[in-house]
A and B are shown apart, each in its own frame.
Chain A
Amino acid sequence: MLDQIQALGRYGLTRLGAVGRSGMLLAHVLVARPQPLKMFPLLLKQIYFVGVLSLVIILVSGMFIGMVLGLQGYTILVDYGSEQAVGQMVALSLVRELAPVVAALLFAGRAGSALTAEIGLMKATEQLSSLEMIGVDPYRQIIAPRFWAGFICMPILSAIFAIVGVWGGALVSVDWLGIYEGSFWANMQHSVDFYEDILNGLIKAVAFGFVVTWIAVFQGYDCVPTSEGISQATTRTVVYASLWVLGLDFILTALMFGDL
C-alpha cells in the first residue's frame, strides 16, 4: 500500500517536473529576443517542412471528409424532403468542428511527430549541445522557428481543409446526387456566419496549432537521447497532442456555442 502511494507520488512529481520544463521552454520561445533577419529564413524553411509538406494529407483528407458528409447528409435529409440543406450541413460541420479538429489530428500525426523525431535526433547526435558550444541558443535557432511555423501553418491548413471539404461535399451532392446547385450554395451562404462560425473555427485552429506544436517541440527537446527515447517521445507527441486537441475542442465548443 505504502509502495503504491510512493509510486503515485513519484509519478506525480515527474509529471509536474515535465509540466514545469515545458512551461520554461515556452517562456524561452516567447520571450527570446526576436532577431527577425536571422529568424526569417529559418522560419521559412520550417513553414515548408511543417506546412507545405502536410498539404497533401490535408487536401486528400479534407476532400474525402467533405464527400462523406455530403453523402451521409443527403441520405438522412432526403427522408424529410430537405436535401437542399446539405450544403448548410456540410459547411457548418466542417467550419465549426471537423476542419480544425481533424486537421489538427492529422497535423499532430504528420508534422508533430516529425518535429519531435527531428529535434530528438538532434539531441541524440549532440547537435543541440554543439549549437550551445558554438554559442548559439538552440531555443532561438531550433525551437522557436519550428514553434512559430506550426503556429502559423495550422490555421491555414485548417482553412484549406474546410474549403476542400466544402468542394468535396458539393461534388457528391450536386454533381453526383443531383441536388439543385442554387439552393446548395444559397443555403450555405445564408446560414454560415462569419463571426459565429468561421472566426470561431479559426480560433480553434489557432489554439490547436499552439498546443500541438508546443507538445511536439517539447517532447523532442526533453526526450531521452537514445533511439528508444526518441521513439517513445514521438508516440507521446501523437497521443498527448490528439487528446489535448479533443479535450480542448470540447471546452472551446462549450465556450463558443454552449451559451454558458
Chain B
Amino acid sequence: MDMFDDIIINIRKLNFSRGDRAIFRGLDIRIPRGKVTAIMGPSGTGKTTLLKLIGGQLLPDSGRIELDGANIPTLSRRDLFEVRARLGMLFQSGALFTDMSVFENVAFPLRVHTDLPEDMIRDIVLMKLQAVGLRGARELMPSELSGGMARRVALARAIALDPHLVMYDEPFTGQDPIAMGVLVNLIRRLNQALGHTSIIVSHDIKETLGIADYVYLVSDGSVIAHGTPKELAQVESEQVRQFMQGLPDGPVPFHYPAGEYRAELMKGV
C-alpha cells in the first residue's frame, strides 16, 4: 500500500499494563506521514494512554515506539524534551495555562523553544489565532472562554511551533454541534495546509470517519480492525460492527456481569 511507504510512527509489539490490568498486548500500529490517522475504540481501551506512550510520558513494559526511527522509550530525558518540541498535542480538556491570557498561552512554546524577537512572536501568535478564528479573543483569560473556544486556543498552541505530528485526544467530546463542526473542519484544513501528520483518538464515529484517511480500531489491548473508513464499513466482524454502528448490546455486553435477574428479585433483602 502506497500510504505506508513513508511512515512517521511505527509501534511494534507494544505491551503496557497498569497494576495487574493489561492495557496493551502486542499492539502493532503504523502511522503514515502527512495523513490523518484515527485510533478508535470503546472507552477504557487506553487510547489516551497510547498518546502518552508516544509522547514518552509513560514507559511501556516492552515493545518499540519509533518516531522517525528513534525509539521513544529509550531516549534520555533531554532528548525526549527535544523530540517533544516537534510534537503538538491537543488535550481533552484543552489544558490551557489558567494564569496566562490566550495570547500568552499560544506564545508560550515559542518563548520557551525559540529566541525570536517579540514582534515576530506576536505575528506568529496572531497567525495561529487567525487560523482558529480567535484572533479577537487574544486578551481573554482561559476562564472566559467556552469549551469549544478553549479547545481551539489549545489547537493554536499545539501548532505554534509547526510540529511534524499533532495528536488529538478526544477532540470532539462534550462539544456542541457547531463547535464540533468547526473543530472537524479545522483539523482537516490544518492537516492539509500545514502538511503535518495527525493522530486522532476518539470514539465519535461519524466525525472522525469523516476526516480520517486511515482508521485503527482498538479493543482489549490490540488492533481488531484497520483500514480506510470505506474498508472498515465492509468488515463483517460482529465486534467491529457493534462499535461502528453503536449497537447497545453485542460482544461488548450491555449488562455488567451479574447473577440471574429473577432470582435476585425474588430473594428479597
Contacts and interface: CB of A to CB of B under 8 A. Distances in A.
A125 B84 contact: no
B85 interface: yes
Main secondary structure of the interface of A (DSSP, over half): helix
Contacts of A122: 98
B171 to A, nearest CB: 14
A134 B55 contact: no
Contact of B84 (A121, A126, A127, A134): A134
A15 B9 CA distance: 39
A136 B55 CA distance: 13
Interface residues of B, number: 23
A137 interface: yes
B20 to A, nearest CB: 15
Main secondary structure of the interface of B (DSSP, over half): mixed
A7 B244 CA distance: 45
A27 interface: no
Nearest to A126: B95
Contacts of A121: 98
B255 interface: no
Interface string B96-136: 11100000000011001100000000000000000000000
A137 B81 CA distance: 8
B14 to A, nearest CB: 19
B191 interface: no
Most buried by B among A122, A129, A134, A136: A134
A127 B57 CA distance: 13
Contacts of A136: 81, 112
A5 interface: no
A135 interface: yes
Interface residues of A, number: 13
A127 B95 contact: yes
A135 B57 contact: no
Interface in A119-141: 121-122, 125-127, 129-130, 132-137
A124 B88 CA distance: 20
Contacts of B84: 132-135
B55 A125 contact: no
Given A135-B85, A135-B113, A137-B81, A130 B95 contact: yes
Contacts of A134: 84-85, 108-109, 112, 157
Interface in A134-162: 134-137
Interface of A: 121-122, 125-127, 129-130, 132-137
Q: Which 5 A-B pairs have the closest CB atoms?
A: A126-B95, A130-B95, A135-B84, A135-B85, A133-B89
25 contacts: A121-B98, A125-B93, A125-B95, A126-B91, A126-B93, A126-B95, A127-B95, A127-B96, A127-B98, A129-B57, A129-B91, A130-B89, A130-B91, A130-B97, A130-B154, A132-B55, A132-B57, A133-B87, A133-B89, A134-B84, A134-B112, A135-B81, A135-B82, A135-B85, A135-B113
